[in-house]
Structure 1
Amino acid sequence: MHFCFEPMNAANAEKLTRWHYEPPYQRYNSTSDETLIGSFVDSQNAYYSIQYNGELVAFCCFGKDAQVPGGDYAKDALDIGLGVRPDLTGQGKGQMYIADVLDFARSKFNPRVFRVTVAAFNERALRAWKKAGFQQVQAFLAQDDKEPFVILVQHI
């Protein structure tokens, strides 16, 4: 299964703001407001729609928007954020999403190191990234809400 990546547009940004995750993943729920949608479509924030058969199934972003304030991002790496549509999570397909996102990132940005920041409670995501070859290098508390996060890297 290979996905199609396109720069985020307003229609897809609006769709993903309506995604609703069940507990304990509700922290990923957002609201549909113009500021958030504007952030998703701003090309400097490097958000991409991930589609399969013309249907929005996930999104990703690269760079600063994939970071969580409080983590140490001093070392050079390409930060990756990934969100999968709620009804498609927990089905054991994380490796497909991750592999295609990494392939896309390699072709677009040619990084030496990939980095992801994952909420510590999100065991599914941590397992998926580790299975993809990422290793934990840091744990920290987010600046704003003091929630624990983990930073993982993969050297290319």
Structure 2
Amino acid sequence: MTMYQIVPMMQTQAELIANTWRYEGIYAFYDMDQDEEDMAEFLDFKAREGKVFVVMQREEVIGFCSIQLEEEEAEIGLGMRPDLTGKGLGQKFVSYLVHYIIGAYHPERISLAVAAFNKRAITLYERIGFRHTESFDQQTNGSVYPFIRMVLEIKNLSS
């Protein structure tokens, strides 16, 4: 089994992700430079402090995760290194993040937002147990796009 490690994101790692991670095709939507405000926040140490982490595997950054606690809910954002996407690695990656968050934060539920076009991610999240709870429009990348909010109820997990 591949072990991951979650550690606070260092500035050099934030810059590496923001400046070099480029996704292919429609997934270029997730490139950090697509939204100046998102990129500025991602590169701001104070904005990231205690909320944004890198996922490491054998000294390599393979992904990142933001965790925002609101009452009994952990709202997450995540990204996997572009060369690792679309290869069947996502379920292990996201499952690890979910188990880490449950163990570290003890939320009643975990939520995330995903662009409505991203059927690949939506299918993955559903396999893990997330459920579509609402659709909404989000201002990002210079326009407004449809997004889906998904929630994983921790009490429903049988692991």
Shorter chain as normaliser: what TM range?
0.7 to 0.9
Alignment partners' CA distance in 1, 2:145 and 2:53: 26
Q: Which residue of 2 is the match for residue 103 of structure 1?
A: 99
Percent same amino acid among aligned pairs?
Answer: 28
Q: CA deviation at 1:38?
A: 1.3
The alignment partner of 2:61 has SS state of strand
TM-score (ref. length: structure 1): 0.84
Which of structure 1's runs of 4+ aligned residues deviate more than 6 A?
none
2:129 aligned with 1:133, yes or no?
yes
Matches within 5 A, 1:1-156: 1-17=2-18, 18-31=20-33, 36-39=42-45, 42-44=48-50, 46-63=51-68, 76-143=72-139, 145-156=143-154
Higher relative strand content: 2
Taking structure 2 as the reference length, the TM-score comes to 0.83
Provide the alpha-carbon RMSD of the alignment.
2.3
Q: Which has the higher helix share?
A: 2
CA pair 52-153 structure 1, distance change in 2 beyond 3 A: same
State the Cα distance separating 1:41 from its structure 2 match: 6.5
For 1:43 and 1:110, the matched residues in 2 are separated by 20
The total of aligned residue pairs comes to 146
| Stretches of structure 2 lacking an aligned partner (at least 5 in a row) | 155-159
CA distance in 2, matches of 1:134, 1:8: 26
